[in-house]
Structure formats: structure tokens, C-alpha cells
Amino acid sequence: MKVVLAFDKFKGSATAQQLNEAAQAILCGFDGIKTVSVPVADGGDGTTEVLASSSEGQWITMPTIGPLMQQAPVTARYFLCDDGTALIEVAAASGLALLPHDDRDVMRASTLGTGLLMRDAMERGSRNIVLGLGGSATCDAAMGILCALGAEFLDAESHHLYPCGESLEKIVHIETSGIPQTVKKCKFTLLTDVDNPLCGERGTAQVFAPQKGASTGQVEQLERGMAHVASIVGDDIASKAGCGAAGGIPALMMHLLDCELLPGAPYVLSRNGLAAALDGADLVITGEGRLDNQTLMGKGPSCVIRMAQEHGIPVAALCGAIAPDFDPVAAGLVRAIAVSDGLPLEEAMDTQVTLMRVAQAVNRLIMDYIS
């Protein structure tokens, strides 16, 4: 019997690799079971680590600017592949997890620190950057990234604007003469874990800014800012799927640089070899922190389920929690188990508790499957 383990992270609790390893350790105790581990990510935080697991290269660790200028510098890392590709994620330097809940300030948060990581990679010779967009604390449409790479944003009086969300509606001119040729020759692959557009009811301001601390008035201001950016960029960028990711990062990056916007999960699973792993498989076990209807909107497990279904392979899912309105059968699952049901939050978020309960659930699942 061949079992493919394809976990996404349990956010804040366990990484995809840890979950796969915990499941693999249990399955090694069963005679006749072969396992293949394919960690999953979808462009959100943890994507760099998953991609790096199947790549040759080295981690680069450096100090950089966090989401807010007034906070102390943060230490972030990215992965530089031997082929020159740099694997970077916005969450590493500009992530929401870097800020205490009471310090969230989406109007002043900037992606400047992420841009400095990208600039460092290019100074080391990289001309191909893969950027995971999920988990950001920002809503600056990549102003910070582009400032780090040499662009300048000017207002009506030709004053320089600080790259953050509250500056968006003040942009009158973007000066690009300071962007080096090395940056212009670089290829950027942007991986998104959402399909939200830049503007509107499903846009980045209205859907994601409140999660980053925005008040009702600030959401309205950010919406005006994003609409203003769309008027500068043109090309129907306001309604383009995925351009609302990470506070609108794709909008200005795609306008000024050589960028390709891709759904994160299919890209990662292509790099990690899920299609080959599924050959001859009898069962796939996937999962993430919470199974809900958003799971089916391009998240990692939904991509795993779809690919397994194409091969006629049953899929079971283990997760921390299952939303009341989530239908496992309709989602294509033969089984769904919530491992944290009934646990206090602190215990449910503990890594060792999570891994132990996942291992127990895998054992129970395989015993039921065999019988």
C-alpha cells in the first residue's frame, strides 16, 4: 500500500514538513506501507521553506526593516538556489505575524523590508525571484518593494511619499529612472493564495485590511487608494484575479517590472513533484489548520484533492478544526478528522500536542482503512 502525505501547515502550530514527518513516523510501523512525503504550500507564509525542501542552495539570513518603520529591525531569511533563483516570501519581513495585535497599523505598514531582501538577492546575482505573497501586514500595493528597488513616488508638489497604504491616493508621479537595469532584467514570479481583485467588494481593502487592523474609515481610504493605483496602471488591473493579494502587491509590480502572477498551490506542487508521487498511490492524506469553504478556493489541500481525483485516488484530510458548513464529501474527501476538537486554544496551538494528535489520527485512519 502506497500513501502520499501532502500536508499544508497548521498555521501558528506546525509546519507542513513537521506534519508529514509525524504521519510518516507512525506509518513506518505498519508492514507493507510505503510513504511518500510531499509538503504543501500555496503562496502563503511557509512557502519558501516548502520550496526550499526540494531545491539545492543555501539560506541567506539578514537584518531588514519590519512592517513598521518604528519597530526594531527584524531578522529575515530567504533561500538562494544554486541555479540563481531566489525564493522569498512577504511574510518573512513584512508579515502580520511580526506585529503584536495591538501594534497593527495597516495604513503605515510597508513592504520595504521585503524589497530589501529582493535587492540583496539580486546583488548576489539572482535574476529570477519567486515571491510568496501571503501573510502580509501591508496594504501598500508594493510601494515599499519598489522603493527598495529604486523607484520614487511623488505627490502633487513633487514631495517624496513614504511607501505605505495611506500614501496610495496621493501618488501623482512614479519616477523609475532610479531602478537599475539589473532589476529591470529580473524575472519575478508572484505566487498568490487568493484570487481577490484589487478593488471592489472582494478587493484587498474591503476583505483583508480589517484583518490587518483597519477601521471602517481606513478601509474606505485604502479602497480609494487602490482605485487610484488602478487608474495609474490601467489594463483592467482593478478586477484582475489575484491582484488583491498581500495588499495589492501585484498591481504596481506588474506595472513596472517583468512579473508573472500565478496561483501558488499548483506552482509549489509542480516543483515538489506531487504528480509523480501520486503514481501508484492508494491513499492521499492532506490537511491544514482549518477546513472551511476557503479551503476550496485555491488553497493547497484543494489542489491536492483535485490532482488525486484525476488519478482516482481517495483523499483523507486531517486538520485542527472543521467549519460547521464545510461538507467533506462535497469537497472530495473520504474522511475528515479535526484533531483539536475540544482542546483549549493554547493547547491546540502547541506544536508537540498538534503533532501527537495528528499521529494518533493517522494511526486511527490507517487502521480503519485497512479493516
- Rounded to the nearest 5°, which phi and psi values hold at 340? -105, 10
pLDDT at residue number 371: 76
pLDDT average, residue stretch 109-138: 97
11-38: per-residue pLDDT in tens? 889 999 999 999 999 999 999 999 999 9
Hey, what amino acid is at 282? D
Q: Cα–Cα distance between 180 and 161 in angstroms, integer?
A: 20
* Strand 85-89 to 128-132 pairing: parallel
268-293: per-residue pLDDT in tens? 999 999 999 999 999 999 999 999 98
| Structural domains of the chain sorted by starting position, each given as residue range(s) with its CATH number in brackets | 2-38+274-370 (3.40.50.10350), 47-265 (3.90.1510.10)
Measuring CA to CA, how many Å separate 363 from each of 197, 200, 357, 359? 42, 46, 10, 6
The C-alpha torsion from 316 through 321 and 324 to 325, rounded to 10°, is: -50
Environment class of residue 62 by beta-carbon count within 10 Å: exposed (0-12), middle (13-18) or buried (19+)? middle
185-229: per-residue pLDDT in tens? 999 999 998 899 999 999 999 999 999 999 999 999 999 999 999
Element (H, E) at 190: strand 187-192
Q: Cα–Cα distance between 2 and 17 in angstroms, integer?
A: 19
